[in-house]
Chain A
Amino acid sequence: MTNPLLSVRDLRVEFATRRGPLVALDGVSLDIAAGEILGIVGESGAGKSLTGLAIIGLLDPPGHIAGGEIRLDGRRIDNLPAAEMRKLRGRRIGMIFQDPLTSLNPLLRIGDHLVETILAHSALTPKQARERAIALLSEVGIPAPEKRIDGYPHEFSGGMRQRVVIALALCGEPALVIADEPTTALDVSVQAQIIAVLKKLTRVHGAAVMLITHDMGVIAETADRVAVMYAGRIVEIGKVSEVVRAPLHPYARGLMAAIPTLEGRVARLAQIPGAMPRLSAIPRGCAFSPRCPEAFDRCRVERPPLLTVGDRSAACWLYDRGHAPAMTTEIVS
């Protein structure tokens, strides 16, 4: 990938605790091209949200970036002063959170949210901002937006609220939208609609998307590439078509085997026996080794780096040709 929009290298996030730092993300590297949709999948607690929050600079203390770098358009943003970072938020990078019920301020009208955000990013007059707000609401498919704009969040259904949230995230025309499980809290019947709105709107506005979900079905239908995360690391990253059809990493294989069918989307993906280790008890060597059906001696001693396999990468010793300590840790470009 030449000149990616976003480039994350060896990102490390730690929580300062009384008993020393707790490593939550370790060696996370990924690229997102302009306009691309990168899916992020993995069990709950794998570090998906932390990755998104680290990129947009909203990690809550005691969480903090302890290593690596994040570049947007080639410019480092992980060490920007707070005021500089704030200028990027909403305008270059936007973020959508899981629960639309709690994402909106209950005391403010929908229009207050939108107008305030539009005014923060443009030189429009309040009247023009309101017109733009109505246009955005209509774009995300809110019926009668000129009326609904004066409603309060509690007057909207979950799906409608998430549409409002998408409109809000697009107010500043960001180049990248991080969508953290945007449909998990929603009724199954509206999930597909919201994903469709998100996909259409980001394409119209030319925004790339980092789509965090644990729904492999959504990834398969929506994303261009996908990163599979496990215990704070990326274990496989590559084109959706390849990763979904022929996953390399044993954990990814477990996930894909659990892809729910169209009829029964109920089945959750963690069908692999065992549970992800807690941050304080990540095993030596490969973090997946206690659950891995193919683990061998080396896996329990040495930690596998991301190894290039064709067009993609996987963090698994099975792909270390010659079984020598891998020196080829570059990312698929």
Chain B
Amino acid sequence: MIAFIIRRLLASLGVLIAVGLIAFVMFRYVGDPVNQMVGIETPAAEREALRQQLGLNEPVIVQASRFLLNAARFDFGISYQFRQPVSVMIGARLPATLELAIVASILSLLAGVPLGVYSALRRDSALAKLFQALSLVGISLPTFLTGILLIYLFSVTLGWLPSFGRGAVVPIGSWWTTGLLTMSGLKSLIMPAITLALFQMTLIMRLVRAEMLEVLRADYIRFARARGLSERAVHFHHALKNTLVPVMTVVGLQLGSIVAFSIITETVFAWPGMGQLFLQSIQNVDIPIMAAYLLFIAFLFVIINLVVDLLYVIVDPRLRAAVHGASG
């Protein structure tokens, strides 16, 4: 088991180094860092001095290693536009994005899994068919449209919820701020979280439904029925567990993409998160921020993959055996 974890960690590290190198290439070769940092009338000597200071004249290998080592310490250099350390800027935005993503994920799971189970178990009921039809809408409705519709309804027409921003936030420790502890923070969170969760929720619901229908056809389900077990035991003890094992991977990766998708939602609701920062950085060709964001997303997916793999091993005895057999 330990060997398995170490192997997985090494593989994850490999992925991160690869993405880090891509980020480095972006940083070093998309435009000239020095040109980005200085004004047009800066004299050549000054540019050369800066070049020397940034180490841009050293061999590429040295530069790349330094870039990776710095990245490992969360040092992504200085934003071209804001003249601030990128790590500080991202750190300030991280709580907004993660809070939104986590709340949206929980929402999509809490709604998606039961809806999927219901649609599978009562697949011929009118309600299940309605859910199926609505889920198609949910999947095909673009996020910005959902957001704008919600804003129109609840902010413009009803005036119940704020249409932009994060509301009042409370600091927790020295680097985290939360909107979950204030009324205005919670109110501000509702619409962005629903907007972000809707697509994932419909996806999870459809996936759970399809997977559960498949599982319900399995021989062990039929045999469980033949033994006279209650429908409840058959559905929730035998079928649900087996449904959730394959669903786990997809859901995990979906949770990762919630963070990636949050760019649009953050823009619609002027949510002061990383997605907004990233969009600004693209407009301004602020490469250090873009590189840092890229690495952050890669890091997130790697972590999620790792957790999903470990969960698999914990849940599925066959994999557990394989892992034990392979590594003792």
Q: Interface on A for B, CB 8 Å cutoff?
A: 56, 58, 60, 86-91, 94-97, 99, 102-109, 116-117, 120-121, 152, 154-155, 165, 168-169, 171-172
Residues in A with CB closer than 8 Å to B315 are: 107
Residue among B218, B226, B237, B318 facing the most chain A CB atoms (10 A cut-off): B226
Residues in B with CB closer than 8 Å to A165 are: 223
Residues in A with CB closer than 8 Å to B222 are: 58, 97
Q: How far is the CB of A123 from chain B (nearest CB, A)?
A: 15
Given contacts A104-B220, A152-B321, contact A58 B316 (CB under 8 A): no
Question: How far is A191 from B228 in the complex, measured between Cα atoms in Å?
Answer: 27
Closest B residue to A107 by CB, please name it: B241
Residue among A60, A91, A99, A106 facing the most chain B CB atoms (10 A cut-off): A106
Residues in B with CB closer than 8 Å to A89 are: 225-228
Question: How far is A139 from B144 in the complex, measured between Cα atoms in Å?
Answer: 65
A120 touches B316 (CB 8 A): no
Given contacts A86-B228, A103-B223, A172-B228, contact A154 B318 (CB under 8 A): yes
B153 at the interface (CB under 8 A from A): no
Residues in A with CB closer than 8 Å to B235 are: none
Given contacts A152-B317, A154-B318, A154-B321, contact A103 B229 (CB under 8 A): no
Residues in A with CB closer than 8 Å to B237 are: 116
A-B contact pairs, 13 of them (CB 8 A): A89-B225, A89-B226, A90-B229, A94-B226, A102-B220, A107-B241, A107-B245, A107-B317, A117-B229, A120-B228, A121-B228, A152-B318, A168-B227
Question: How far is A60 from B245 in the complex, measured between Cα atoms in Å?
Answer: 25
Question: How far is A88 from B227 in the complex, measured between Cα atoms in Å?
Answer: 9
Q: How far is the CB of A291 from chain B (nearest CB, A)?
A: 32
Closest A residue to B217 by CB, please name it: A60
Given contacts A152-B317, A154-B318, contact A90 B228 (CB under 8 A): yes
Q: How far is the CB of A146 from chain B (nearest CB, A)?
A: 19
A58 touches B238 (CB 8 A): no
Closest A residue to B242 by CB, please name it: A107
Residue among A102, A105, A168 facing the most chain B CB atoms (10 A cut-off): A105
B219 at the interface (CB under 8 A from A): yes
Question: How far is A108 from B317 in the complex, measured between Cα atoms in Å?
Answer: 8
Main secondary structure of the interface of B (DSSP, over half): helix
Residue among B219, B220, B227, B233 facing the most chain A CB atoms (10 A cut-off): B227
B227 touches A106 (CB 8 A): no
Residue among B237, B241, B317, B318 facing the most chain A CB atoms (10 A cut-off): B317
Question: How far is A280 from B220 in the complex, measured between Cα atoms in Å?
Answer: 30
Question: How far is A58 from B223 in the complex, measured between Cα atoms in Å?
Answer: 10
Q: How far is the CB of B228 from chain A (nearest CB, A)?
A: 3
B285 at the interface (CB under 8 A from A): no
Given contacts A102-B219, A102-B220, contact A108 B238 (CB under 8 A): yes
Residues in A with CB closer than 8 Å to B227 are: 89-90, 94, 117, 120, 168-169, 171-172
Give 16 A-B pairs besides A90-B227, A105-B241 with Cβ atoms closer than 8 angstroms. A86-B228, A89-B225, A90-B226, A91-B228, A97-B226, A102-B219, A102-B220, A106-B316, A107-B317, A108-B238, A117-B228, A120-B229, A154-B318, A154-B321, A169-B227, A172-B227
Closest A residue to B229 by CB, please name it: A120
B224 at the interface (CB under 8 A from A): yes
Given contacts A97-B223, A105-B220, A165-B223, contact A116 B233 (CB under 8 A): yes
B230 at the interface (CB under 8 A from A): yes
Question: How far is A142 from B217 in the complex, measured between Cα atoms in Å?
Answer: 29
Question: How far is A89 from B220 in the complex, measured between Cα atoms in Å?
Answer: 15
Question: How far is A104 from B95 in the complex, measured between Cα atoms in Å?
Answer: 46
Residues in B with CB closer than 8 Å to A94 are: 226-227
Question: How far is A103 from B224 in the complex, measured between Cα atoms in Å?
Answer: 8
B231 at the interface (CB under 8 A from A): yes
Q: How far is the CB of A185 from chain B (nearest CB, A)?
A: 10
Closest A residue to B244 by CB, please name it: A107
Q: How far is the CB of A77 from chain B (nearest CB, A)?
A: 13
Residues in A with CB closer than 8 Å to B225 are: 58, 86, 89
Closest A residue to B239 by CB, please name it: A105
Residue among B223, B242, B315, B317 facing the most chain A CB atoms (10 A cut-off): B223
B317 touches A102 (CB 8 A): no
Question: How far is A102 from B222 in the complex, measured between Cα atoms in Å?
Answer: 10
Residues in A with CB closer than 8 Å to B220 are: 102-106
Closest B residue to A102 by CB, please name it: B219
Question: How far is A132 from B156 in the complex, measured between Cα atoms in Å?
Answer: 67
A87 touches B228 (CB 8 A): yes
Question: How far is A94 from B228 in the complex, measured between Cα atoms in Å?
Answer: 8
Question: How far is A191 from B198 in the complex, measured between Cα atoms in Å?
Answer: 53
Question: How far is A105 from B227 in the complex, measured between Cα atoms in Å?
Answer: 13
Choice from A97, A116, A152 contacting B229 with Cβ under 8 Å:
A116
Question: How far is A206 from B242 in the complex, measured between Cα atoms in Å?
Answer: 35
Residues in A with CB closer than 8 Å to B238 are: 105, 108
Closest A residue to B228 by CB, please name it: A90
Residues in B with CB closer than 8 Å to A88 are: 228
Question: How far is A152 from B320 in the complex, measured between Cα atoms in Å?
Answer: 11
Interface pairs A-B: 8 shortest CB-CB: A90-B228, A102-B219, A89-B228, A95-B226, A152-B317, A90-B227, A105-B220, A103-B223
Closest B residue to A101 by CB, please name it: B219
Find residues 255-277 in chain B having any chain A CB closer than 8 Å to their own CB. none
Per-residue CB contact flags for chain B residues 204-236 toward chain A (1 = under 8 Å, else 0) read: 000000000000011110111111111101000
Residues in A with CB closer than 8 Å to B229 are: 90, 116-117, 120
Residues in A with CB closer than 8 Å to B228 are: 86-91, 117, 120-121, 172
Question: How far is A155 from B225 in the complex, measured between Cα atoms in Å?
Answer: 23
Given contacts A104-B220, A107-B315, contact A56 B230 (CB under 8 A): no
Choice from A103, A116, A121 contacting B219 with Cβ under 8 Å:
A103
Question: How far is A172 from B226 in the complex, measured between Cα atoms in Å?
Answer: 11
Question: How far is A76 from B251 in the complex, measured between Cα atoms in Å?
Answer: 47
